[in-house]
Amino acid sequence: MNLFADIRSLVLDSLATLVSEGTLPDGLSLDAVTVEPPRDPAHGDMATNAAMVLAKPAKMKPRDIAEALAAKLADDTRIASAEVAGPGFLNLRLAPSVWQGVVGAVLQAGTAYGRSDMGRGSRVNVEYVSANPTGPLHVGHTRGAVFGDALASLLDYAGHDVTREYYINDGGAQVDVLARSVYLRYLEALGQEVAFEDGTYPGDYLIPVGEALAEAKGDAWVGQPEEVWLEEARSFATDAMMELIRTDLAALGVKMDVFFSEKSLYGTGRIEAAIEDLRAKGLIYRGVLEPPKGKTPEDWEPREQTLFRSTAHGDDVDRPIMKSDGGWTYFAPDIAYHYDKVSRGFDALIDVFGADHGGYVKRMKAAVSALSEGRVPLDIKLTQLVRLFKNGEPFKMSKRAGTFVTLRDVVDQVGPDVTRFVMLTRKNDAPLDFDFDKVLEQSRENPVFYVQYAHARVMSVLRRAAEAGIACDDATLAEADLGGLDHEAELAVARKLAEWPRLVETAARTNEPHRVAFYLYELAGDFHALWNRGNDVHGLRFIQEGDAAASQSKMALARAVSVVISAGLGILGVTPAQEMR
């Protein structure tokens, strides 16, 4: 149920009636007609711009249309009043019974209340994290992981068929570096003195991997050249790293559907097939690129290379797909990977990258556009930096200084729920401040606490009502008489609940899960406001002494709030708090 959609249908029906009566001309396009909540609640519950959008095509004055429409709408029992305002807005006030109906609808549907079938039939692939398998995930990955996971859940909630995917960069030179580093740890485990030079990973996390290798291999690789051990060490090490990464992700509550290996593209003809597809479209050629203007590298010299004509699909320059030594550039397997995604039949692709990969957006979009011949849209969401603070003081991450902060550090310190919520309290393309102390503070300025507290309050009042012998299970509340919910503070909460389905669709359409977090904060705010009014106005308390029926109607509202909070937190991957400690 989406109240805004319902009322919009009503407006469209009324307009159709006006057409059939000859008040409005035939053949008007009604696409631009919207029904939305006005910014200023004093303007009513909903407003439609119908009169203004139709004025020009209908060759009528906006106010004339608005008045005719108002008269029609007033016939509907749901409409308490319809007033023409401003340049031709039609402000609608809905009967209290409509808002009470929203509460009933929430309780009937449960956490499915805001589900949408907007994405019905649409298969979406969300690729996120995709960190190199060379070490543990750090805070930057954490944001991408949370964002991607919440986005995937949001799209699922909006009716899409979602696949969560991780691309393992296990095919490039960095995994050779990993293998050599692990080899050093292997020697170390066998008692040798080793030195970690530039171009190796000195992290402690490789020590157990080296030990495991020593356990498995004994001294068979000691003193042997790379040809003997490199390949096996590589696969042993990447497996170990992926195990580590999977464990980290699990600690955060992230579970992928597919782990896609870059390595699986090599030596199997899959890269060649993707490039061949582009070649058949006339998009592969040999050529020489212009040096970048303004900042010419000292060692620049013109060189002929194999290029992808990405400019034919919106990129700024064509991109090399082959190195001068004949090997593929990193871009080639990326193309092949997206070719694979396209051929798996997805209707839309989403990539979540760190902001430092912003330079690859255009070329990836160009590749997907070319490979799918424009059929499959690729949206790339960039997550900005996370700035870390401790007690208001910023601190820099440095591997050397040992202040490198991993995903695991964050989760272990503040827990997965807080981590996830906080990561979504900012738009993905805005930098995020993460203060280890403030995120645990119990105050209004901390949205995590504020939302959880609202949910816990509902749970608490339900428990107390049950102790007082008032039936307040969901089935009972769903059938409760809600006629008594007519106070302004109560209706405000119901109005907020009515916005939920609409918000889900907007958030899903824009691929912006942070909207859910902000909505929950607002809903919690309205609920806390109502709760606080109970201090002065005893008639607004949820438990009405000696009046089970009144208590039940009020607790139906409270329960509806907790259901929507629960649904929203579910999308964010956060567990609703049953009580605060």
Partner RNA sequence: GCACCCAUAGCUCAGCUGGAUAGAGUGUCGCCCUCCGAAGGCGAAGGUCGUAGGUUCGAAUCCUACUGGGUGCGCCA
Q: Which is nearer to RNA, 16 or 385 (CB)?
A: 385
Task: By CB under 7 A, name the one of 61, 120, 255, 323 that touches RNA.
Answer: 323
5, 23, 38, 242: residue in contact with RNA (rule CB under 7 A): 38
- 390 in contact with RNA (CB under 7 A): no
CB of 220 to RNA, least distance (A): 29
Q: Are 15 and 64 in contact (CB under 8 A)?
A: no
Alpha-carbon gap, residue 454 to 565, rounded angstroms:
9
Site track for RNA across 263-302, x = CB under 7 A: -------------------------xx-xxxxx-x-xxxx
Binding mask 158-197 toward RNA (x if CB under 7 A, else -) reads -----------x-xxxx-----------------------
Residues in region 510-569 near RNA by CB under 7 A:
510, 512, 514-515, 518, 525, 528-529, 531-532, 534-535, 541-543
Site residues (CB under 7 A) for RNA, limited to 391-430: 426-427, 429-430
Buried b (16+ CB within 10 A) or exposed e, 151-188: bbbbbbbbbbebbbbbbbbbbbeebbbbbbbbbbbbbb
Under the criterion CB under 7 A, does residue 499 sit at the interface with RNA? yes
Edge-to-edge strand ranges of the sheet holding 319-320: 284-288, 304-308, 319-320
Quote the CA–CA distance of 224 and 183 in Å, as a whole number.
11
Check residue 100 for interaction with RNA (CB under 7 A): no
Q: In angstroms, what is the minimal distance from the CB of 380 to RNA?
A: 9
Beta bridge partners of 286: 306
Whole-number Å distance between alpha carbons of 544 and 483: 15
Total site size for RNA, rule CB under 7 A: 97
Closest distance to RNA from the beta carbon of 14 (Å): 17
With CB under 7 A as the contact rule, which of the stretches 10-18, 22-30, 202-210, 356-364 interacts with RNA? 356-364
The alpha carbons of the chain give a radius of gyration, in whole angstroms, of 29
Under a CB-based contact definition with an 8 Å cutoff, are residues 18 and 24 in contact?
Answer: yes
Candidate residues 405, 497, 503, 523; the one interacting with RNA per rule CB under 7 A? 503
Q: Which of residues 199-238 bind RNA (CB under 7 A)?
A: none
Closest approach of RNA to the CB of residue 68, in Å: 17
Among 75, 243, 257, 356, interactor with RNA by CB under 7 A: 356
Residue of the chain from 7, 24, 53, 567 that contacts RNA (CB under 7 A): 53
How many CA atoms does the CB half-sphere of 90 hold within 13 Å? 32
223 or 535: CB nearest RNA: 535
The CB-of-85 to RNA minimum distance in angstroms stands at 4
Rounded Cα distance, 434 and 422, in Å: 8
Task: Measure the CA dihedral 268/274/277/283, to 10°.
Answer: -130
CA–CA dist 237, 206 (Å, integer): 8
CB 423 within 8 A of CB 143: yes
Q: What is residue 22's DSSP assignment?
A: T
